[in-house]
Chain A
């Protein structure tokens, strides 16, 4: 079964509004979560790495003021797309890395965002 969930699975919003996407690890505590963006048939583009209790680390070219990430607990990270525009329409995927002797990365099902 799924070990990482995302909510919502799809969202349609008007240009200029903000959208929050949640990523939850269901059966484990994740000190690190990752946020990716995927365009059709392309590789996942890492947007940022989120560590519980600290500020996220953003990849080059990703606007931290536009894509707000909060990792308030060991099982929840949120990505807020602020003032969304049509070019932000994409498939957003999170992953969570379990801690322990054998670190494993589990991916979420993705959130499809359409900005009109």
Chain B
């Protein structure tokens, strides 16, 4: 079957670095997305990876290993506003999104 796994909740300190992992199993693969969602708001697109490797975008980086079915989102220099849920979603061969349940990130001062 198709499945996405990511931790339910993580806690980190302001100014630190946190890595949110995501493993996926899909029928075919057309890329992996990361979204940020603040409570009561629509998810905001953060990154899209379809090739192996690390893509850096400011304080946020996303990594993909297709052979391992693994991705992570790396957040540096954490700010209080980074407290949110982070959703991992893989696109299968039919261009359907398989969603993870989301990781709630709590930032402490």
Contacts and interface: CB of A to CB of B under 8 A. Distances in A.
Interface string B23-45: 00000000000010100001111
Contacts of A93: 97
Interface stretch (B59-67, B68-76, B87-95): B87-95
A99 interface: no
Contact of A43 (B35, B89, B94, B95): B35
Contacts of B42: 34, 36, 43-46
Contacts of B35: 43-44
Contacts of A43: 35, 42-45
B43 A109 contact: no
A41 B45 contact: yes
Contact of B97 (A1, A10, A109): A109
A33 to B, nearest CB: 14
Interface string A20-49: 000000000000001010000111111000
Which of A1, A34, A109 has the most chain B CB atoms inside 10 A of its CB?
A109
A22 B22 CA distance: 28
Interface residues of A, number: 20
Interface in A81-116: 93, 104-107, 109-110, 112
Interface residues of B, number: 20
Interface of A: 1-2, 9-10, 34, 36, 41-46, 93, 104-107, 109-110, 112
Interface of B: 1-3, 35, 37, 42-45, 48, 87, 89, 94-99, 101-102
18 contacts: A1-B3, A9-B94, A9-B96, A34-B42, A41-B48, A42-B45, A43-B42, A44-B35, A44-B42, A104-B102, A105-B37, A105-B102, A106-B101, A107-B99, A109-B99, A110-B95, A110-B96, A112-B95
Given A45-B42, A46-B42, 11 more contacts: A10-B95, A34-B42, A41-B45, A42-B45, A43-B45, A44-B35, A44-B42, A106-B101, A109-B98, A109-B99, A110-B95
